[in-house]
Chains A and B, each alone.
Chain A
C-alpha cells in the first residue's frame, strides 16, 4: 500500500474519487478495482482507517439486531456472508466465534424472543434460542443469574483497522490510487467533472465522487453542494484487557439492547485480548476521542453483569471511538445525490457498518452503474494479497525454517504481542510509517507494555527503512511528533 499521492498543484485524473479511506471507502475502492475504471481513494489522515474504522467493537454482526425495514439490515446480512471469502483473499484476522445475547431476567427473555424472530425474518443463519443450561454450555464464565439468551453462530470478531489495511492494499494492487493527507476543502464542477481541491493544493479531477467521509460526510456533502444533513458523533469508550485475563469468553457477549445502542459488550478479540464497552454518548466535537473517569465504573459494572470475574487490574488501555450517526432513524444513507450530479452519498455508516462494508462496496458499485459510470470487468484482476508470515503463528520448529529464509523474523521487537523485525519492516514498506500505523498493521505496541519497551526500536526501524529523520516520526500524523530534540 504505497503512498502514491501527487505533488501540490499536480492533477490526478480519474473516473471515480472516493472521499474517505475508512472501511466503507476501502471496500468501495476494492470493488471498483475489479473494473477498468480509474479510481482515487482520498484520505485526510496520515494513514487509512485512522478515523471511525480504527476504534470500534470489531464485530461481524449476527443479523438479528435491526429490523428488516432498514437498508443497514440487508447490507449487514449480505456483508456477513462475504467475510469468509474475503479472509481467504485478504489474510486478515477474523474468527466466526459466534455471538450470545445474555438475558438476566424474564423481562429480558421476552426481548430475546423478539430478537430471535427478527433474526429469522432477516435470514440470519443458524440463530437459536438458548435455555439457561444451553447458555452455560456455550459460555461457562457467564453470570449465574443468566436465565437464557440468543446464540448467533454466524457472528464473529475481526481486527477492523487490519481489515481496512488489507482491503486498501488489495485495491492499490489492482490500480487504485491512494492519496493520503488529502483533506478536501473545496470542490467545483467543470463540464462533466468534479474538481476536488485539497488543503495543500493538490487536485483530483473525477467524473464521479463517492462521499464516504464518515464523521465528516455532512461537511463533504456541503462542499459539493449536495444534500444537507447532520452527522452526530456518538462516543463509545472502551477498555482493553490483557490477554492474561481470566475473563475471556468464548463468544462475543451482548446484553439485551437499549433504545440507543446495542449495549456494552464483552468481546474476546480475534487476537486474544478482551475488549469491554462501548458507552454511547452524543457529543459535539468530531475530534473528541477523550476518555472519562466516570465511564470506567459503568463499563466494568456492565461487563460484570455478564462476566462477574472481569477485573480492573487486567486493564491495559482505554480508548474512545466515534459513531457517525445520522439521526433520528440511524439508518445508512447510501444513494445517488438528487442535488449534485454524479455524486454518491455513503453516510451514517455506524454499526453494523463494519459487517456491512463489503456489501456497501457492491451496492455503491451498482449505484455508480445506475448513474451512468461505465464498468467493464478487468481481465487481470487479482483478488489476493501476499500473505505475510507472523512469527507468533509458528512453533519453534516451524520458525526454524522461516528464520533461515528471513533472519529478521528472529529479532523479536514487541515482546508482549511477539512481533518480529521482519513484520515491522513489512508494515513500513507497505507505507505505514507512523507509530500507530505500525501498531495497527502488526500489533506491536498493542500489548501489556503499550510500547514501553518497543516504541523506540520501532522509531529506529522507521528511520532506517525510510530515511525519515527522528523529528518526522509521529504517533499518527499531523503534529503528533514523538521526539522533540537530539542530544
Chain B
C-alpha cells in the first residue's frame, strides 16, 4: 500500500475544496486534494451557464471558467491533486488521521494527515425521496444528471420534458433543454413561490414562455417502457386536488427537488450531523464534532452560489491552519435559530474573532428585519429588503459589532427575522 504524508487533506475538488486547499498552501502547510472524478471542478464543470465569479473574481464567468481560475490557483500554490480517487474511510491514528483512498492508477493509497477538510458537496434528491407515485419507466432523471448528460457527455435525455421543482438547476435545465431542441412543457413547483433565484425565473422560463405551475405537484408518472405522460395536480390545503388535475404528455421528467449534503463518509468518521441542514455540526472555526475534521461548502449546508461556498471554504482553510498551530478560540457562543429562521451556519461564534454567518429563512417577506439577541437583549438589527427560503442571507459581524456584547461562555445568540 502506498503512503503519503501531508499536513492537510481536502476531500473533494470542487469550488470549496480548491478554495480551502489554496488557503492552506498560502500558509505554507502541505496539502492534498482527493477528487473522485477525472478532473478538478466538481459540479461547476457541467454548469456551462454564466453567473459565477461575481463575488470571487469580480467578473461574470461560466462554471468551467470559474473552476479554471481556481485550478490555476491550486497549481500555482503547489497542491498535490489525486484524481479518479475515492476516499473510502477516515481513521484515527497515533499521529493524526489516516485516509484510505482507492484509485485505478495507484491502487489503495493511505494518506497520513493532521487535519481533514470535508468538501464533498451534495447529491440530488430523487424520485424515491419525494415519493412520486406511478409506474417506473425510463426517462426520469434528476436535473443534475440530465445537465451532466447534455453538457459534458453530449447526450440528449429526451424530447418532451416536464420539470419538477423550480430550483436553480431545474430552471437552468428548462432553458438548456429548449436550446438543444426539446420542448419543455412546464415546471411544476410544490411551493407557492419559486425555489430558484429570481433572475433564473426570468432568464430561463419567462424568456422562453415556459409555464411555471406554482403550488402544483406531479401526482403520477405513466408509461410502460419510457415516460408517456404525467398528471399535474394543484395543491388545495396542501393536498393534491384530483378534480383540477391535468395531464402533460412528455417522454422525460427532470427532478430538481433539492440537494442533500453527502456526509456518509463524515458520519462513518464520527462527525455529528445536523438534522436541519444534513451537514456537519460545526463550531465557529468550521470544525466538526471530530477534532481536526473541518467542513465547508455544500457538504456543510447547501449554498446558493459557488462564490459563497468558496468564500466559506477559504475561511475554513485558515481555521484548519490555526488549529494545527494550536490556536483555539478562548470561548464560543452558541447561535440559535430564532423566529422564522431555519438555520444559521456555523452554529457558534467567537466573540474575539467575529466572522461571517449564513442563514436561511422559513418565510417569504418584504422589508424584513434581522434581529440578533444576546441573552434576550437586542445587540444588532439589520434591514433586509426581501427574504425567501431559497435565498441565503449573509451577515458579516465586525469587531465593532461585538465590542459591547458582554458575552459569557454560556451566552446564546439568537438570530430572528421579523
Contacts and interface: CB of A to CB of B under 8 A. Distances in A.
Nearest to A409: B102
Interface string A284-311: 0001111111001000000000000000
Interface stretch (B137-145, B349-357, B371-379): B137-145
B155 A449 contact: no
Interface stretch (A176-184, A198-206, A472-480): A472-480
A453 B219 contact: no
Contact of A407 (B107, B142, B225, B240): B107
B158 interface: yes
Nearest to B263: A244
Contact of A290 (B89, B108, B133): B133
A409 B105 CA distance: 11
Interface in B66-94: 84, 86, 88-89
A475 B138 contact: yes
Interface stretch (A155-163, A356-364, A366-374, A394-402): A394-402
A421 B104 contact: yes
Q: Which label, helix, strand, loop or mixed, suits the secondary structure of the A interface? A: mixed
Nearest to B181: A485
A404 interface: yes
A399 B126 contact: no
A289 B136 contact: yes
A39 B264 CA distance: 47
Nearest to B120: A415
A396 B142 CA distance: 32
Contacts of A486: 154-156
B29 interface: no
B133 A410 contact: no
A60 interface: no
B202 interface: no
B157 A483 contact: yes
Given A396-B88, A396-B100, A411-B103, A480 B156 contact: no
Q: Which of B89, B144, B158, B180 is the most central at the interface, judged by chain A CB atoms within 10 Å of its CB?
A: B158
A35 interface: no
From A287, A460, A478, A487, residue with most partner B Cβ within 10 Å = A487
Contacts of A411: 84, 102-104
A25 B170 CA distance: 45
B126 A449 contact: yes
Contacts of B135: 288-290
Given A410-B102, A410-B108, A485 B155 contact: yes
B137 A475 contact: yes
A152 to B, nearest CB: 31
A161 to B, nearest CB: 15
A486 to B, nearest CB: 6
Contacts of B107: 400, 403-404, 407, 410
A318 B86 contact: no
A410 B156 CA distance: 30
Nearest to A406: B104
B128 A240 contact: yes
B136 A319 contact: yes
Given A456-B149, A474-B138, A479-B225, A399 B102 contact: yes
A470 interface: yes
Contacts of B157: 482-484
Contacts of B134: 290-291
B23 interface: no
B243 interface: no
A222 to B, nearest CB: 23
Contacts of B153: 456, 460
Contacts of B181: 485
B48 to A, nearest CB: 12
A479 B89 CA distance: 41
Interface in A102-124: none
Given A290-B133, A407-B105, A479-B225, A487 B123 contact: no
A323 interface: no
B97 interface: no
A487 B103 CA distance: 31
Interface string A205-247: 0000000000000000000000000000000000110001000
Given A396-B110, A410-B107, A480-B225, A487 B150 contact: yes
A487 B154 contact: yes
A298 to B, nearest CB: 13
A452 B102 contact: no
Given A291-B133, A415-B86, A487-B154, A452 B100 contact: no
A452 B103 contact: no
A479 B226 contact: yes
Interface in B127-173: 127-129, 131, 133-139, 142, 144-145, 148-150, 153-159
Given A318-B133, A397-B1, A480 B226 contact: yes
Given A290-B134, A396-B1, A487 B110 contact: no
Contacts of B110: 396
A312 B129 CA distance: 9
A125 interface: no
Could you say which of B1, B108, B219 has the most chain A C-beta atoms within 10 Å of its C-beta? B108
Interface in A298-346: 312, 315-319
Contacts of B180: 485, 487
B226 A318 contact: no
A483 B156 CA distance: 6
Interface in B237-260: 240, 251-252
Contact of A452 (B86, B126, B150, B224): B126
Most chain A CB atoms below 10 A, which of B104, B131, B142, B149:
B104
Contacts of A317: 127-128
Given A315-B129, A412-B86, A244 B267 contact: yes
Nearest to A294: B133
A251 interface: no
A410 B104 contact: yes
Given A400-B108, A411-B104, A474-B138, A452 B156 contact: no
B149 A483 contact: yes
A426 interface: no
A410 B267 contact: no
A415 B85 CA distance: 12
B386 to A, nearest CB: 30
A416 B128 CA distance: 15
A6 interface: no
A140 B126 CA distance: 32
Contacts of A451: 145
Q: Give the residue among B127, B150, B251, B252 with the most A Cβ atoms within 10 A.
A: B127
Query: Closest 9 A-B residue pairs measured CB to CB?
Result: A485-B156, A475-B138, A317-B128, A396-B100, A480-B138, A403-B107, A479-B225, A480-B225, A400-B108
Given A415-B86, A435-B138, A487-B155, 19 more contacts: A240-B128, A290-B220, A293-B131, A312-B131, A315-B128, A315-B131, A316-B129, A318-B128, A396-B88, A396-B100, A396-B102, A397-B108, A404-B107, A407-B107, A416-B264, A420-B102, A456-B153, A480-B225, A484-B156
18 contacts: A244-B267, A289-B135, A289-B136, A290-B133, A291-B133, A293-B133, A296-B133, A399-B102, A410-B103, A410-B106, A411-B104, A416-B264, A452-B144, A475-B138, A480-B138, A485-B156, A487-B154, A487-B155
